[in-house]
Amino acid sequence: GNSVTQMEGPVTLSEEAFLTINCTYTATGYPSLFWYVQYPGEGLQLLLKATKADDKGSNKGFEATYRKETTSFHLEKGSVQVSDSAVYFCALMNRGSTLGRLYFGRGTQLTVWP
């Protein structure tokens, strides 16, 4: 089946620290991979995505590389800010899916202290 596993949170970091949030997946097809971010009290926003192996998605200083050999899509940022405090969701979508269904991980809460 299709599933996404994220590292358990919460993650607490000081400003300017390095961030890694691990994400691994299983998929029945050849998926596209996503990271969504949810700021407090808001809906989800697409942060970045990658559609094929070895692609790197990037946005707002965040990066994630599609690793087919390890079925992973880990999220990284070199220097986090207080404004990055949010919940981060890893997700997959099987390519060519008419429905466009997303399969989400459980989310990882990130808190950044000044």
Partner 1 sequence: SQTIHQWPATLVQPVGSPLSLECTVEGTSNPNLYWYRQAAGRGLQLLFYSVGIGQISSEVPQNLSASRPQDRQFILSSKKLLLSDSGFYLCAWSVEGWETQYFGPGTRLLVL
Q: Site residues (CB under 8 A) for partner 1?
A: 32, 34, 36, 41-46, 49, 51, 89, 93, 95, 97-102, 104-107
Q: At a CB cut-off of 8 Å and minimum separation 6, what does 23 contact?
A: 4, 5, 6, 7, 33, 35, 64, 72, 73, 74, 75, 90, 105
Closest contact distance (angstroms) between CB of 5 and partner 1 is: 11
Closer to partner 1 by CB, 7 or 17: give it. Answer: 7
Judged by beta carbon, residue 98 or residue 114, the one nearer partner 1 is 98
* Choice between 51 and 111, CB closer to partner 1: 51
**Cβ 79 to partner 1 shortest distance, Å:** 27
Residue 79's contacts (CB-CB under 8 Å, 6 or more residues apart) are 16, 17, 18, 61
**Contact in structure between 90 and 1 (CB atoms under 8 Å):** no
Q: Please answer whether residues 51 and 32 qualify as being in contact, where contact means their C-beta atoms are separated by less than 8 angstroms.
A: yes
Least distance to partner 1, CB of residue 6, Å: 9
Smallest separation (angstroms) from partner 1 to the CB of 99: 6
Cα–Cα distance measured from residue 106 to residue 91, given in angstroms and rounded to the nearest whole number: 9
Of 17 and 58, the one with the shorter C-beta distance to partner 1 is: 58
